[in-house]
Copies of this chain bind each other. A is one copy, B any other.
Amino acid sequence: MRELTRIFQSLSDVNRIRILKMLEQRPLCVCEITSVLGLATSTVSKHLSILRDTGFVVDSKEGKWVNYRLTDSPSPPYINKLMPLIKELLPDDKVVREDAKKVRDVDRETICA
């Protein structure tokens, strides 16, 4: 039960939802997400670690970058039920659409400097 409430809590922050919706497009590194959200790098890293601990995302190193992506199915219990739900929510959200556009245009080589 505690595990379930932790999962819901990880979804109870606007910036973490924005991260999940961005990752629906493609894997992203920390600085790309930071650039879109306009938060401190350390804050974004914290958000990602929370989403990783609950099982929504996984990370993988690629050179000097750490890429985060959505956990692909079969994902852990609860997550496999919630992930599809999140994917179909907020289809017309203004912020989500603006973030999507930024993700499309962002280039890690340019902004991480």
Instruction: Count this chain's copies in the assembly.
Output: 2
A interface, over-half SS: helix
Could you say which of B2, B17, B85 contacts A81, with CB atoms under 8 Å apart?
B85
CB distance from A53 to the nearest CB of B (A): 14
> What is the interface size of chain A, counting residues whose CB is below 8 A from a CB of the partner?
23
Quick check: is A96 within 8 A (CB to CB) of the other chain?
yes
Contacts of A18 in B (CB 8 A): 1
CB contacts under 8 Å to B, within A7-50, are 8-9, 11-14, 17-18
Give A residues with C-beta under 8 Å from B: 1-2, 4-6, 8-9, 11-14, 17-18, 78, 81-82, 85, 88-90, 93, 95-96
